[in-house]
Amino acid sequence: MKRWSKWQTWFQFSIGIILVSCSPSKPKDQGVFLYNEHSGITSLDPLYARNLANIWAVQWMYEGLTRLNSEDSIVLGLADSWARDSTAKVWSLQLRKGVYFHSNPELPVGYTLNSQDVVRSFYRAKNHPFSAWILEGLDTIIAVDSHKIELYFVQPKPDLLALLSVPALSILPAPLIEQVPASFWRTNACGTGPFQLKLWQEGEKMVLPVFSQYWRLNSVQQNSHKLKGIAVQFVKELQSAKLDFLMGNLAIFQGSDPQINEELIQLAKQPNASFRVVNGDFLNTEYLGFNLKGKHPVCRSSALRKALSALLDIPKVIKEVRGGLGEPSGVAFCPATLRSGNSSNLSDSKVNLRKEAMMWLKKAGFNHPSEVPPLILHTDPAYAYFCSALIYPWVTEGFNVRLEVVERSTLKSMVAKGQVDFFRASWIADYPSALNVLGIFKSNRVPPNGPNYTFFMNDTVDAALHILETRTSGLDRELAIETIQAALVEHVPVIPLYFDAYLRFERKEYLGLKSNSLNQLDAVEVHMVDVEAP
């Protein structure tokens, strides 16, 4: 295929991996794990790893002191061991020795991980508005010696090991942090991860050869079919990317279009199918958000927001538009897997949708939906079809609601600046914790200090979040979660839609790819096998 001929030319590694552009062989035969990123990558800076495309790119090249493995357990990464005092305010971490950074002209040859790298990386993250929340309450970081650090917090930090796995706390080399401008990290990378950046032409291609000195390489990588690198193409047309996958040019295809998903699922059921289906829970909450500082009446009236919420038939939309992918969230914003107890006081029963909606509408001061001023729901192109189906019951009842589709980057900027009153958004958990999901409603995390895009401020919620931040008692945390969710039901800063699931299609020639509930990928053990052509 013509596109793969380009990839053979692109994938020329200085470590002796040369792909001949005229070769007719497949990427698998060249040891290349090629995938398509239709949404694009905007930054390689760990601080900007805030969407899945950027997170995947960052995780190939960087690591943190801990990581979330494929069993959804927090395990040690660049940290070799840890200890904490009885208050959970003082933490000590011993770093692995002999961990190499990727080569860079500004670094000494063979530069290895040391305490100063961690100290400088943590202070960099602590001083950035996108990541300051991770190390909130940090008073001091001390480099005890070349491979040991101590962190002192002003309040207990029981979830620190999980927090250290967040991509924003990936470790960069201290000398580079000191020498280069902040903008350097958007298009350049220098970490300790399993793959190193060779080439990135934005919107066209990315080439990432295996880092031969990576500390976690194992025996699987030593066979004749070992992975030699990862490559990324940026084809926006999903049908074109699907054809690449079916022809064996892409190692994986990430499901996003319901029609394509259903087609591939059916093909995978064939006895001679060349690929398999992989799916699982994805800790991503999709929701509609209201800017509570906005000008529209819906921004000032929880009753009006409840009227809109009552009319939605989310299970039907998920079934018809998403092919059943995802679990309707009811009134809950936090996935059940992160909640303790049964949250039995949070009823989402809707016996008579219209009757309930009209009741709330009258409480908001309107006798008929047509009296409510025109309302615009902003979304990006990927969710335009879903949102058009979502608003259908409102339009049918007489609400003057219309959809406005805006490019993803533009929409994110508008939402963060409070320029839109009503929007569709999602929250992908940074680590598996109710605190991380519900923490976006903390008062001090309104933009530009965080992702509280609804500008929701509530003392009760803040107090409950403080309990989640500082207490280890299961009962205390359970009650705090219920308190927060009850407040969200009462004030309706958001309308939860569904808890996401990931759907991925993998060529059978590739084995060893691992993932977790954050849909993060681990390709360290990926290797290729020969599969008979169907």
pLDDT digits over 131-150, tens only? 998 999 999 999 999 999 99
* 3-class DSSP assignment, residue 269: coil
Quote the pTM value: 0.84
- Two structure tokens written together for 123: 């202070």
Is 390's pLDDT higher than 80?
yes
Is 205's pLDDT higher than 50?
yes
Residues 6 or more apart whose CB falls under 8 angstroms from that of 413 comprise none
- Two structure tokens written together for 203: 């919107």
| CA–CA separation, 347 and 338 (whole Å) | 18
Q: Which pLDDT does position 530 carry in this prediction? A: 82
- Chain-wide mean pLDDT for the chain? 89
- Two structure tokens written together for 87: 């208050």
What does the pLDDT average to over 332-358? 71
Q: Which of 343-352, 355-364, 443-452 has the lowest mean pLDDT?
A: 343-352
Residues 253 and 242 sit within 8 Å (Cβ to Cβ): yes
pLDDT digits over 72-121, tens only? 999 999 999 999 999 999 999 999 999 999 999 999 999 999 999 999 99
- What letter would DSSP give residue 87? T
pLDDT band with cut points at 50, 70 and 90 for residue 311 = very high
- What's at 481, amino acid-wise? I
Run of H or E including 412: helix 408-416
Q: Which pLDDT does position 353 carry in this prediction? A: 82
- Two structure tokens written together for 255: 């499901």
Nearest to 488 by CA among 290, 244, 272, 193: 290
- What's at 302, amino acid-wise? S
* 3-class DSSP assignment, residue 270: coil
pLDDT band with cut points at 50, 70 and 90 for residue 30 = confident
Residues 321 and 385 sit within 8 Å (Cβ to Cβ): yes
What does the pLDDT average to over 331-360? 73
| CA–CA separation, 397 and 487 (whole Å) | 28
Gyration radius of the chain over CA positions: 24
Q: Establish how many alpha carbons lie within 13 A of residue 96's alpha carbon, considering only the half-sphere containing its beta carbon.
A: 19
Q: Which of 2-6, 345-349, 399-403 has the lowest mean pLDDT?
A: 2-6
Is 459's pLDDT higher than 90?
yes
CB atoms under 10 Å from CB of 176, counted, come to: 19
- Two structure tokens written together for 38: 């239709």
What does the pLDDT average to over 54-69? 97
Residues 482 and 344 sit within 8 Å (Cβ to Cβ): no
Residues 513 and 523 sit within 8 Å (Cβ to Cβ): yes
pLDDT digits over 167-176, tens only? 999 999 999 9
| CA–CA separation, 188 and 248 (whole Å) | 30
pLDDT digits over 254-308, tens only? 877 788 988 999 999 999 999 999 999 999 999 999 999 999 999 999 999 999 9
pLDDT band with cut points at 50, 70 and 90 for residue 218 = low
Q: Which pLDDT does position 3 carry in this prediction? A: 45
pLDDT band with cut points at 50, 70 and 90 for residue 534 = low
Q: Which pLDDT does position 352 carry in this prediction? A: 74
User: Which is it for strands 401-405 and 375-379: parallel, antiparallel or unpaired?
Assistant: parallel
DSSP letter string over 214-266? -TT--GGGGSTTB--EEEEE----HHHHHHHHHTT--SEEE---HHHHHHHHH
pLDDT band with cut points at 50, 70 and 90 for residue 347 = very low
Nearest to 36 by CA among 221, 239, 196, 187: 239
pLDDT band with cut points at 50, 70 and 90 for residue 336 = confident
Q: Which pLDDT does position 533 carry in this prediction? A: 59
Q: Which of 235-249, 373-387, 463-477 has the lowest mean pLDDT?
A: 463-477
Residues 6 or more apart whose CB falls under 8 angstroms from that of 532 comprise none
Helices 238-246/258-268 angle, 10° precision: 10
Is 6's pLDDT higher than 60?
no
Nearest to 304 by CA among 422, 453, 426, 425: 422
Q: Residues for the chain: how many in total?
A: 534
pLDDT band with cut points at 50, 70 and 90 for residue 186 = very high
